[in-house]
Every structure is written in structure tokens, then in C-alpha cells.
Structure 1
Amino acid sequence: MKKELWRQLIHASGVFIVVLSYFLPPQLLIILCVTILAFVVIVFRLDHQHHIPFFSTILRVAKRDEDERGFVYFFIGIIITLYIFQFNMAIANAAILILLFGDSASTLIGRRFGRIKLPFQSHKTLEGSLTFLGVGFLVSLTQLPLIPAFIGALAGTLTEAYSPIDDNVPIPLISALAITVVIYFLI
């Protein structure tokens, strides 16, 4: 569990992207994310043959044995979300925060306290999903009004629970899409 805690803290540290969005234009944020992704891919590949001070230690502490590409999908989800939803950075930021904190919290709580399995999903729990919904809702409230924040968190929760692909890509995209529909078409 300690390894997973470190992994999720690193996952949540992506909050710097949201913070930087108040100072940088979306295009520059996208370039920054692509640059970080390229850097991490290079470090990851080099780490297989060489010990890289600081970075190798982080990779050994936080990397899941069965998942070597999660960080790639993580950045791809954020990059695509920034690109598509840059017309309203509150939507993009809320969706990114839902990914960062909702997904991290649900993993930690679901693995530690999860007992009730979700229907049609043997490795996800009700406790983890409810945590995702609550945390996702709270963090999205920092960017959005009540109803769009809740709908975005709910969409992210369902996506995390039932996505057939790595959830780091669809969570922010589906959350942002649901928020957009609520803000521009329903309210």
C-alpha cells in the first residue's frame, strides 16, 4: 500500500498544470506537457539500463509492476483535454482535477477499504467509486458551479469504473464533455 500511496501522490502532483493555467496560455501548457511526457519516456527507457540519480529511485518507489505506460496515458489525457477544451479553461481545469484527485483517492480508498464490488466490474469497488465522486465533486467546485461540477464528477466516476481502456485518457475527456453539455446546452 505504501508504494501505491507514493504513486498516487505523484499522480496528484499534476495539479501544477492547473496552477500554471492561471499564468500561461493553453498552447504553452500543452507544449509543457508534451515536453514533460517526452522527458519521462526518455528517463523511463534509460532507467531500464542505467541508474539515474533521483529519477530511478522515484520510478522504483512508484511504478506498478504490471503498468509501465500509465504515465503516458495520464499525459495524453491531459494534453487532449487542454487542446479540445481550451476555449473554457474552467472546464478543462475541472476535468483535470477530477482525474488527478478523484482517480487517486478512489484507488487508495478502494484498495484499502473496498469490499462491495461494482456490477459487471470485478476489480472496482463501490467504496472507491463513491470516493471518486465525492473528491471529484469537491475539487471541481473550485472551478465550476454546483450542477456542472457534480455532473462532471459523476461522468468521471462512471468512466473510471467502466472504461475498457486505461482510464487516464477518457476520464478528463468525458468529464469535460459532460460539463460542457451542462453549461452550454442545459443551463
Structure 2
Amino acid sequence: MAATGPMLFPGTPLAGDICALVLTMCSALCLLQFFEETARRGIFDQKLNRKLLHITFGLVFMLCWPLFSSGSQGAVIAAIIPSVNIVKVLFIGLGLLKDEATVKSMSRFGDYRELIKGPMYYVISIALCCTFYWRTSPIAIAAICNLCAGDGTADIIGRKFGTKKIPYNTDKSFAGSIAMATAGFIASIGYMYYFSMFGFVERSFKMTAGFMLVSVASALVESHPLSTKIDDNLTVPLASVFLGTLVFS
């Protein structure tokens, strides 16, 4: 049975959720600050720095979900964290706010206008998964894990080992797509076990098989030329949610 109250102040859910929000917000800010600093100092290659942030932000955010209460209140309050980043990314992408460190850590080519595309889709997807599916749904796990761990790993592995290209899309490689399906699946299984410890989901072979199917399908969608043209930060979570709805319902 899943807990209904937050881990902090379970007798007063609102106070517990607010404390959880503060702790999660601090974790998110520390993570963002870390990658802004590594981008500023040039510790990692810019593309690698961006993808490491891409992988970790959503996964670390999900790690904090058990701190909140079950139900819509906990979900909505938790979703404030990515929603704040939506506003920040929008303001920077529109040129209303200058933040060179954020631009460098999130953009491909250092252009602030890039932020209203891929990074915007990324945080919107996480916010919507949090709000509408929350921690009791394997759909949220699949969508966020394939978006973060899967898509991020695909780019890193594809750049390093992706010499053999996919025939229908030479911008993508077999190594990258295999890495995406593998990383998305492993992360999904990890969060299935993690959330099952709190009683949010019940781990099963059926759910495991569903995660494998969604991860493979997401990798195929990411490798399609349409994803390159639109943005895989949009197509991957949409594909994960669509197929997850069919598989896990």
C-alpha cells in the first residue's frame, strides 16, 4: 500500500510537501549550478556537459518524489520545480534574461534562442509527466527515463562509437540507438525497484517487459529523421507516453 502522506511531517501534508519542495528545489539548483560551473570552466566538452545535465536533472528530480504526498497535491507541488525552469528557459530563450552560464550548459551552439526548443520541450515533458502520471504510474517512469537516461546516453555513445550509421538516418548510429534502448530500460527498471520500496508500484515481469518494449520503441522513434527535424526531446516522451498507455493500461 502506497503511503498517502509526505515523508516529512506526514500528519500535516501541506507542510510536508512544502518542505519537500524546498529540499528538491535546493537539489535541482545545486545540480544546475554544478553544470553551469563546469560549462564556464570548460571542464567537459560543451556537448558532453549538456548531455550530462540532460541525463541527471530528470532522474535526480524523480529520486525526490517519495518526499512528497501521494495524490494530486504532491504531484502539483513537485511539478513546481520543472515549471520554474520552464519560465527561466523561456525568458532566456526570448532574450528577456541574460544568463550565459545557462546558455552554455544547455545549448548546442551557444545560441540563447536554442533554449526555447529542445530544453523547453525537455522541462515541459518532465513537468507534465509529474503532474498527470506521478509516481504510481509506470508511464511516468518510462517517459522520463527514456527522455533522460536513454536520449542522453544515445548522444554520448553515438558520438564516440557511432561509426556505423543507420541507413534511413545518417545522423544516427546503431551504437547510439542500442545505447539509448539499453540505458532507458535499465533506468526504468531501477526506478521500478526504487518506487516499489515505497509501495508506489508493484514490480512484475509484465512491467519489466513493458519497459523493454517502450525503450526499444523510443530508440526507434529517436532514430527516425522526423525526430531530428522536430526535436527528440518532444518525440521521445510523446512516444513513451503513447506506447506506455497501451502497454501498462
Partners of 1:153 and 1:141 lie apart in 2 by 11
Relative to structure 1, the CA distance from residue 38 to residue 152 in structure 2 (aligned partners, 3 Å threshold; closer, same or farther) is same
Matched, 1:30 2:30: no
Relative to structure 1, the CA distance from residue 61 to residue 82 in structure 2 (aligned partners, 3 Å threshold; closer, same or farther) is closer
Q: Is the 8 A contact 2:135 2:141 kept in 1?
A: no
Matched, 1:94 2:142: yes
Q: Which residue in 1 is equivalent to 2:231?
A: 166
Q: Which has the higher contact order (CA 8 A, sep 6+)?
A: 1
The one-letter amino acid paired with 1:175 is S
- Report the Cα offset of residue 84 of structure 1: 4.1
- Report the Cα offset of residue 59 of structure 1: 2.8
- Report the Cα offset of residue 72 of structure 1: 0.7
| Structure label with greater radius of gyration | 2
Relative to structure 1, the CA distance from residue 142 to residue 177 in structure 2 (aligned partners, 3 Å threshold; closer, same or farther) is farther
Q: Is the 8 A contact 1:152 1:175 kept in 2?
A: yes
- Report the Cα offset of residue 173 of structure 1: 2.5
* Alignment match of 1:81 (pick from 129, 143, 158): 129
Relative to structure 1, the CA distance from residue 58 to residue 76 in structure 2 (aligned partners, 3 Å threshold; closer, same or farther) is closer
Q: Which residue in 2 is equivalent to 1:59?
A: 103
Matched, 1:116 2:164: yes
- Report the Cα offset of residue 103 of structure 1: 0.7
The one-letter amino acid paired with 2:232 is D
- Report the Cα offset of residue 61 of structure 1: 4.9
Matched, 1:176 2:241: yes
Partners of 1:93 and 1:21 lie apart in 2 by 11
Q: Is the 8 A contact 2:221 2:236 kept in 1?
A: yes
- Report the Cα offset of residue 148 of structure 1: 1.0
Partners of 2:159 and 2:108 lie apart in 1 by 14
Q: Which residue in 2 is equivalent to 1:148?
A: 210
Aligned CA RMSD, in angstroms, stands at 2.2
- Report the Cα offset of residue 125 of structure 1: 0.7
Relative to structure 1, the CA distance from residue 153 to residue 105 in structure 2 (aligned partners, 3 Å threshold; closer, same or farther) is same
Partners of 2:104 and 2:190 lie apart in 1 by 33
* Aligned length, in residue pairs: 177
Partners of 2:213 and 2:191 lie apart in 1 by 13
Q: Which residue in 2 is equivalent to 1:10?
A: 53
**Once the two structures are superposed, what CA deviation does each residue of 1:1-59 show, in whole Å capped at 9, x if it has no partner?**
82111111111122222123222322223332111210233345322xxxx5xxx2343
Structure 1, unpaired ranges of 5+: none
Matched, 1:130 2:173: no
Q: Is the 8 A contact 2:106 2:119 kept in 1?
A: no
Q: Is the 8 A contact 1:85 1:92 kept in 2?
A: yes
Identity in percent? 26
